[in-house]
Chain A
Amino acid sequence: MRKIYLASFCFLVFLHAVSAQQNSTKLFTVNFQQATISQIVNELESKSSYHFYYDPAQFDSLRVTLQVTQQPLNAVLDLAFKKTAFVYAINQQQQVFITKGRQIRTELALGYSQVRTNTPVSQAPVADYTQEAEKKVPDATTENKLYEIGVKTNTIKPGRAILSGYIRDIKSGEAVTGATIYVANTKTGAASDQFGFFSITLPRGRQTLLVRGLGMRDTRRQIILYTDGKLNIEMQEQINSLKEVKISAEKVANVRSTDLGVAKLDIKNIKQIPTAFGEADVLKVVLTLPGVTSVGEATTGFNVRGGAADENLILLDGNTIYNPAHFFGFFAAFNPDIVKDIELYKSSIPEKFGGRLSSVLDITNREGNKKKFTGSAGIGLLTSRLNVEGPLGSDKTSFIFGGRTTYSDWLLKLLPESYKHSQASFYDFNLGISHQINEKNNLYLSGYLSQDKFKLNSDTSYSYSNKNLNVKWKHNYNNKLYSLISAGVDNYKYNVSSTANPVNAYNLGFKVMQSNFKTDFTYYLSNKHTLNFGLSSILYKINPGTFEPNSDKSLIAPDIIPSEKALESAVYLGDKFDVTDNLTISAGVRFNAYSYLGPQTVNNYAPNLPKEPNNVLDSTTYGSGKFIKTYLGPDIRLSARYLLGDNLSIKAGYNTLHQYIHLLSNSTSISPTDVYKLSDPNIKPENGDQVSLGIFKNAQANTIEMSVEVYYKRLRNYLDYKSGAVLLLNHHIEQDVINTEGKAYGAEFLLKKTAGKLNGWMSYTYSRTYLRQNDPFAGEFINSGKYYPANYDKPHSVNFNGNYRFTHRYSVSFDISYSTGRPITLPIAKYEYAGSERVFYSDRNAYRIPDYFRSDFSIIIEGNHRVHQLTHNSWTIGVYNITGRQNAYSTFFSEQSGVISGYKLSIFAAPIPFINYNIRF
């Protein structure tokens, strides 16, 4: 690749102005059949002394078929690039520059000398290139310009200085998250945070910064660093290049970061993956990642490395989302037009997160466009969405608003009589506002509202809703230190009501409210240390059930379970320490303090006896605000990376976690009437730890990534339910649950091709998850106290996800997933009882449902890509479950007219075609 220079512009400044027409008259005879650019170039270079300069990424869809005899170079190139956007320029040194769209001028750019002399060379301590200053400069020139940072001195002092600033999208002004800045000849690198902010310590002097961002075109900046200073960098979005995006950010991240078990996907990847109803689905994509399983299709929860579904912290712009699904789990509650990217932490969970045992799914919404009003809309078979965004007043403030709704009732009305009276509807709204107060202060507001209502052919109607709001204030103290202070409220509630029988007509309500306050500080202590520290506090209030009559005739006795309160606080400190060029250690500690608060009446049970009604000694009533029981628990977060070469590293990690809020469910999947319970004196917090080890390797110029990770995990005090447990409206729920312990282990293999026309990933996961309940004081054993597989224990899982881009407008995606069937409790014998055949069940989860296999296909057709048009549109057409395999969701045995029969329930039992139309304006 010696002749290929990524951005050939850089050379221009060293070239003398020579007309391209004066080239020698060497003649060529060539015969190209579907030749790629490199074949063409090799051929032409081998026949002459010309040197070609071009960016191969721009040419990957070019195929040339051409036959010429004895023609000069410019004629060959004219023919070769006829009807394409490619243009070329040839200078006297026999150098050929092929570019797309704009021809390179081989003479010196006009006004070049002014640019240099106009470069601010002030004596002010900070030379700040604000975005206004840069905006006027074309992107290409920006790359070639030499920026002087800091107080200019004649001789550059030896040592290091700090460079900080923001990375933003040149078009919308939005922050670019996770972009990496990277100095080519050293191993120093930094990544921008969620606000696009970065800080990097560099040797003083002239440096070339390589900047890479997810979904952004790679760029570079040349700087002369005199002293500490600032530089804002604007990046261009990589339009239509789909998968290629991924690479850049991960090129560095995959091998070099200390993160283990972290997956980051941007919305473009998510949108490529076919889903049942054609709408991009954040949660379905999470399920294709290694180490993530679920109990079945169309279920709300997901399980990460053997953890239960409630052990995932799902954050949407910092808001905790308790129920992340719509419509019984058919749709994720996240609007794909608003979401920017998602990050799933399976193992290396940053110390700023806590309170859940298995994973953190961090979903980030986009910031609104700061420069102009835009919007998009999408129409699918069951849902429609609309979002608008733009500046508010000035370009310091922007908003983004998105809404989705369903019109699925028509579908239910087409169903046979027995389902006809079902109704279902949902909507969700997102609002984001970001405001730049000044250089050092930014404010962000993020709100979310979702509501689901359904009535499944019965007289009972259900509804649930999430309501979330938070405000974040970001303050930069100096180049090295900034803080993020946020406060917010998260609300989840559901309601069940029935009116059919006037005497039993009822209303049942359940509500979780939490208020949270957080401060996060990031301190770039030196080029070897980056510190994170802060504190967080969550005040929980749960109304665990209000059961009330909803008419005058109703005889329902009101039953209100007293609300419970708790305070979960944590302080944390973490350090990312670059020990040597090859060894980096991230070490952190998070100290959790959890207190169950009054007012409350708590039963005291006889020690070492099952928590049963007849073992209650007495009960204690605590006053309001009283600290009833406090649990302290330190969490350790450790990970280390050792580079074995430029493209190979090994990583190891260990972490511990605590969880104080538990979801109690006795159905297979999360259902809308499950109960959240706070740890109290009788219900201990869950805790767990995990060790993991990984090897990461990149190949083929970082376009292929390979990784193998293994882990072993222990879970303690996971809450299971006793046989026949009543979870809803239970005043003494500790009597119906038991503590179980779990162990999970596995190996995850991932192969990812991140660039080129064909890209995608393939993963194989072997994982096991076992639970055990053998506490002699719990009252009953499950499976005689032996280990049994958890509901979501699926030993083998294979996922393939591939995308092939034919042209910039057409691409196809194909995916396959296979997994072992989940464990199930099956009948092993039958008998007659109460007038009917009945079945006798095996030990819990002793059998498995048949294996799962599904393949999907979709085509994405983009409208034309002219930049200046009123609207851009695209179509997504595809088929979910092409083979129509009737994957079992569950198997069950049920009595019908006195005879027991086995049934297999499938949810998507046929190929499901879908179509979606999206429009951007």
Chain B
Amino acid sequence: MKNWRIWLFILTLSIGCKKPYNPKVINSPRSYLIVEGTINTNDTTTIKLSRTVNLNASTTLNPVEGTIQVECDNGDKFGLFEVAPGIYKLAGITLDSTRKFRLRINTPGDGNEYLSDYEQAKAAPPIDSVGFSVTGKGIQLYANTHDPKNATHYYRFDYVETWRFHSMFNSSYVSNGTAVVPRSQDQLVYYCFASNASTSIILGSSAKLKQDFLFQAPITAIESTSEKIELKYSILLREYALTADAYKFWETLKKNTEQLGSIFDAEPTTLAGNIHNTHDATDIVVGFISAGTVAKKRIFIASEQLPSTYLPKYPYDCSIDSTFYNDPHSHANTVLQRLLAGAEVPVNAIFSNTSPNPIGFTASDIYCIDCTLRGSKQQPDFWK
């Protein structure tokens, strides 16, 4: 009677489904200005200017050239400098965090001028702690924070995560084109560092609580098989304090772009930011410019802190081959054919009882050996 269970299982799986969907080419009649960033009163302010592109465009990023000024409600004005296409920075200036700020943007391409609404600078309270809990699938990172002044209520987070990882095989040899030689210290490619910035919108609200307190606000989840936590993992969490309007903007953006499709999820709605075209009130500008300080916290998680049952799953299928100067079966020089030609990379030497020199090398695909393909050997300054 086991069959019926399997049959029902298949039946159930087949009832509902989620499939890729690519409608006929939909093109927007025009493109809209996108402004991203926060006026950071005690650190570098970075603002990104871009425009929307059609859905089928191969590159999404469409930087816009313009001039940007931060304006304080006391009349002070600070110009930003373009450091890369579409990226503008204001560094080395501390702004008065008791005041209100706005952005003035001019886009010479179309002669438009945009202004954001004056926003009160809000100080982000320090992050109390960043921790993690072990769940069935892996670990869940969370943050705790509170505002003793009961004035923040709305929080947004983003992060940069960095981790040390190793490749599948630790190679001691390398081909220099003419011969296979032992790797020098500089040539070791087993351990590397990789880094990622957050891609989803992380929000927290204590508006419904008696105290301005975020307890274990979820930040991100890491699967138990992830390479990120095979050696050591670090996360730099940044916290921004938001106004109620800013929170509503971010929440709508999150709902519109991250939380759609289940039966009860809300329908997409118009995204109302706080930036307006001074020449055309009907123009839509995506973005919300807040002002305030940023709180930061970095933590490290070493693999020793995690359950020993966690085993990383290497992202590639890796196997080990053997190459010989004189293959015992074909008598071909497979070291020459495979390693010196660069098809595979040597891992370790193969010795025989009869000779002190290697008779060949174990070998594998470069993706299984060279960690620099996915990371950098350079240890970040903050690493400890």
Contact = CB atoms under 8 A, between A and B. Distances in A.
A888 B271 CA distance: 26
Interface in A869-894: 886, 888-894
B145 to A, nearest CB: 12
A745 B148 CA distance: 59
B248 A724 contact: yes
A840 B32 contact: yes
B16 A890 contact: no
Nearest to A908: B15
B258 A895 contact: yes
Contacts of B31: 829
A835 interface: yes
A503 B206 CA distance: 10
A724 B19 contact: no
Contact of B23 (A557, A826, A907): A826
Interface in A377-413: 411
B266 A831 contact: no
A298 interface: yes
Given A414-B5, A501-B215, A905-B261, A830 B19 contact: no
Interface string B16-59: 11111111001110011010100000000000101111110100
Interface in A712-751: 723-725, 729
B197 interface: yes
Interface in B230-266: 248-249, 251-253, 256-266
Given A501-B215, A909-B17, A833 B198 contact: no
Contacts of B62: 831
A205 interface: no
B17 A841 contact: no
Given A414-B5, A503-B209, A503-B215, A669 B264 contact: yes
B216 interface: yes
Contacts of B21: 888, 891, 902-904
Contacts of A906: 16-19
B15 A831 contact: no
A313 B198 CA distance: 48
A732 to B, nearest CB: 14
B140 to A, nearest CB: 11
Nearest to A559: B208
B201 interface: yes
A671 B265 CA distance: 9
Nearest to A419: B12
B83 interface: no
A133 interface: no
B53 A668 contact: no
B32 to A, nearest CB: 6
A829 B31 CA distance: 8
B26 A666 contact: no
A906 B16 CA distance: 6
Interface string B138-156: 0000000000000000000
B197 A835 contact: yes
Contacts of B17: 886, 905-906, 909-910
A673 B263 CA distance: 12
Nearest to B48: A832
Contact of A557 (B26, B200, B210): B210
A834 interface: yes
Nearest to A500: B216
A128 B32 CA distance: 83
Which residue among B18, B62, B249 has the maximum number of chain A CB atoms within 10 Å of its CB? B18
B61 interface: yes
Interface in A833-848: 833-842, 844, 847
A445 interface: no
Interface in A668-699: 668-669, 671-673
B280 to A, nearest CB: 13
A901 B50 CA distance: 21
B52 A831 contact: yes
A803 to B, nearest CB: 26
A847 B51 contact: no
Contacts of A827: 26, 55, 268
A840 B11 contact: no
A773 to B, nearest CB: 12
A901 B261 CA distance: 12
A903 B19 contact: yes
Interface string B254-292: 001111111111111111100000000010001100000
Given A669-B264, A828-B55, A829-B53, A414 B8 contact: yes
B252 A910 contact: no
* Interface core residue of A725, A833, A847, A909 (most chain B CB under 10 Å): A833
B14 interface: yes
A253 interface: no
Nearest to A296: B263
B73 to A, nearest CB: 19
B55 A666 contact: no
A708 interface: no
Contacts of B215: 501-504, 555
B60 interface: yes
A895 B257 contact: yes
A838 B257 contact: yes
B326 interface: no
B52 A829 contact: yes
A544 to B, nearest CB: 16
A644 interface: no
A323 to B, nearest CB: 14
A414 B209 contact: no
Contacts of B51: 831
B290 to A, nearest CB: 13
A324 B149 CA distance: 47
B199 interface: yes
A835 B260 contact: no
Contact of A724 (B28, B52, B158, B251): B251
Contact of B261 (A415, A844, A892, A910): A892
A503 B248 contact: no
A841 B268 contact: yes
A82 B16 CA distance: 53
B158 A834 contact: yes
B9 interface: yes
B260 to A, nearest CB: 4
Contacts of A833: 34, 36, 253, 286-287
B263 A669 contact: yes
B200 A836 contact: yes
Contacts of A894: 257-261
A877 to B, nearest CB: 15
A504 B199 contact: no
A780 B11 CA distance: 47
B239 to A, nearest CB: 15
A900 interface: yes
A847 B57 CA distance: 20
Contact of B209 (A556, A724, A826): A556
Nearest to B266: A666
B213 interface: yes
A897 interface: yes
B16 A840 contact: no
Given A840-B286, A895-B200, A906-B16, 7 more contacts: A723-B269, A780-B270, A831-B62, A833-B286, A841-B268, A906-B17, A910-B15
14 contacts: A502-B215, A555-B210, A559-B208, A669-B264, A673-B264, A723-B270, A828-B55, A830-B60, A832-B60, A838-B257, A892-B260, A894-B258, A895-B200, A907-B15
Interface of B: 5, 8-9, 11-23, 26-28, 31-32, 34, 36, 48, 50-55, 57, 60-62, 158, 197-201, 208-211, 213, 215-216, 248-249, 251-253, 256-272, 282, 286-287
Interface of A: 298-299, 328, 411, 414-416, 501-504, 506, 547, 555-557, 559, 666-669, 671-673, 723-725, 729, 780, 782, 784, 791, 825-842, 844, 847, 886, 888-895, 897-898, 900-910, 912-913
Top 7 A-B pairs ranked by shortest CB distance?
Answer: A503-B215, A904-B21, A829-B52, A892-B261, A910-B14, A723-B269, A898-B199
